[in-house]
Amino acid sequence: MRKAWGQIAILGIALAAFMIVLAPVPAFSQNCALCYTQAASSGSKMIQALKSGILVMIVPPTLGSIGMIFVVYKKRNQVRRTDEEQTEEKNDLDDSGRDW
């Protein structure tokens, strides 16, 4: 059952990626009026600086998010407990006489 949910999740991600690829280009090029007027009234150096600024604002958060996902994926088994461990812990608490 768990494997089936994984396959469904992968299919959903692939479908979402496919829809993004098929989206019209003007949907990706919507931007604020200030950026548009500055870019339209400036020279090639300013346009290159604007493109570099956009990359500087996008790349670090993206890499940070990917890094966080990677760490969470690698550490996922360190916090999981099996049903047996939870039952043993519950029995230990019951045997000690403490009632939390």
Mean pLDDT of the chain: 76
39 three-state secondary structure: helix
The domain of 80 spans 2-96
Q: Hey, what are 39's tokens?
A: 């870019």
**29 compared with 61, residue with greater pLDDT:** 61
Residue 74 has pLDDT above 60, yes or no: yes
Q: What is the pTM of this model?
A: 0.41
Neighbour count for residue 63 (Cβ, 10 Å):
10
| Residues 46/38, Cβ–Cβ less than 8 Å | yes
Residue 33 has pLDDT above 90, yes or no: no
Rg (CA), the chain: 25
Structural domains counted in the chain: 1
